[in-house]
Amino acid sequence: MALRPLVECVPNFSEGRRADVIDAIVQTLRRTGAVHVLDVSSDPDHNRTVVTMVGAPDEVERAMFAGIRTAAELINMEEHSGEHPRFGATDVVPFIPIRDVTMAECVAMAQRLGERVGTELRIPVFLYEAAASNPERENLAKIRNTKFQYEQLKAAIETDAERMPDYGPAQVGSAGATIIGARPPLIAFNVYLTTDNVEIATKIAKAVRQSNGGMAFVKGAGFLVDGKAQVSMNLTDYRKTPIFRVVELVRREAQRYGVGILSSELIGLAPQEAFIDSAQWYLQLDGFKAEQLLETRILQAEADAAASPLARDEPPVPEDATSHVPTVEAAFVDSVAAATPTPGGGSVAAFAGALGAALTQMVAGLTVGKKRYAEVEDQMQATLAAASDLREKLLAAVAQDAQAFTDLMTAFKLPQDDPSRDATILTKTLGAAEVPHTVCGYGLEALRLAEVAARLGNKNAATDAAVGALMIVAAIEGAALNVRVNLVDLADHPRAQELQQSVVSMIEQTYQLRVQIIDHAETRAGLKG
């Protein structure tokens, strides 16, 4: 069986408390590329989420760009706080070679993604580990640590030459900066102590980590998590410094301070080999071989069967990339149907727009590469890319609209005597109108693409382009209605007036395009005499 190359990516996002934001980011990763999302680990104290995904290199790279963009739209670093040091909304993005992929290829992925994020999203990007532009940036701790993180970078990036990013502007916005690199597999492993004295955890971490003369391939720091002192560690080469050896050193150092190990935890995923080694050491299983594991033998039998001439030459696309549509759709419909104010009409409008853009993308995809449509190949390629981008933006707006409404309701709950109440309500009201206004804009862009698809795309799918256009028209009309209702009490506010006038203009353009698109579709489908 011809196995496709596999790359692992373990992005760290600076959000561990808002489930809707975490879900929006993860769904973006799943929808954008044919990737397997294997694990999602969130920690509210660290206010951080670690996602583990694998897939073909180009699929992982594409999904990761969309994930960074969504995180930038939903996470404001000015409002972020947590135990873990961080640079940005998408804090760290490592690429890890798993199968038939070299470290050099992962470095190239990091460089391409970094350049795109810096250019298109205007987010500063720093390269680290194997992708580092200079030796000083190989170690992540030399770039970002507890003493130098978002707040310090924001002040230093514009003037300190040593803090200049590898890509993007020398300026930090609300999404912060992102650190992208390539490295071998890493194990994120934490040990909790039988004390709440974080100073003890910090001293133990200092004794264990390599930078202070401890064990090679170990990074560590002390934190207070859930009322317990935690020794948080990254094991960068578990073969040369195995987990059991690290745990035993932590245990001995803890005894010096009269405490012990309460428990330990694994963050994300880790290679099975690391835990087999630990079990073999603790159980003193001399002569043990991995082939003695039942699961190992089953996997070998399945691999032998797959190598048979009767097996397929190419494995199927990961299930997460094909079967997610009905499950995500059902979950969204269920959440809309629930007796809660969000997600509401604004989110539904954005979702409808995303579906319309997706149909436009489909029609363009059915046209690209066809000899019959060679003359419009360039236009269809551009339509395909633009529709994909708008689809992701509209999907991100589903969560953004719900969050804007929640923020407004929170503002109304402020005490009547709070001097900031009126100003906060005004800001959040305008914010609740800005999101659907943005949806109108995205929708109008998507509608123009649908017109191209209906007029020039594969004629067998012309009515699909028209259905997509009708979905987009509904999205624009619904979003415009939300803009108007949110601004009903702000008739004299300059920005409110701008938004009102803008949606009126967009609605007029929408109706003109709708007529053209339906005409194209009906003519090309033979529905007109």
Q: List C-alpha distances in Å: 526 to 363, 365, 523.
A: 18, 22, 5
493 assigned to active site: no
Q: Which of 36, 46, 80, 84 is catalytic?
A: 84
Is the N-terminal amide bond of 326 cis, ω within 30° of 0? Answer: no
Residues 6+ apart with CB under 8 A from 335: 343
| Strand pairing report for 178-182 and 90-99 | parallel
What is the distance between the alpha carbons of residues 74 and 90, in angstroms, rounded to a whole number? 11
The answer to whether the beta carbons of residues 180 and 60 sit under 8 Å apart is no
Helix (H) or strand (E) run with residue 21 in it: helix 19-32
Q: Residues, the chain, total?
A: 529
Residues 6+ apart with CB under 8 A from 348: 336, 478
Long-range Cβ contact pairs of 402-406 (< 8 A, separation 24 or more): 402/20, 402/342, 402/343, 402/344, 402/346, 402/347, 403/20, 403/21, 403/74, 404/346, 404/428, 404/431, 404/432, 404/434, 404/435, 405/341, 405/342, 405/344, 405/346, 405/432, 406/342
Q: Of 481, 477, 482, 479, whose CA–CA distance to 508 is shortest? A: 477
Gyration radius of the chain over CA positions? 26
Q: What tokens were used for 103?
A: 């470290």
The answer to whether the beta carbons of residues 460 and 418 sit under 8 Å apart is no
Q: Of 94, 91, 85, whose CA–CA distance to 152 is shortest? A: 85
Residues 6+ apart with CB under 8 A from 45: 16, 82, 83, 223, 224, 225, 226
Q: What is the DSSP string of 217-269?
A: TEEEEEEEETTEEEEEEEES-TTTS-HHHHHHHHHHHHHHTT--EEEEEEES-
What is the distance between the alpha carbons of residues 58 and 17, in angstroms, rounded to a whole number? 30
Active-site residue set? 84
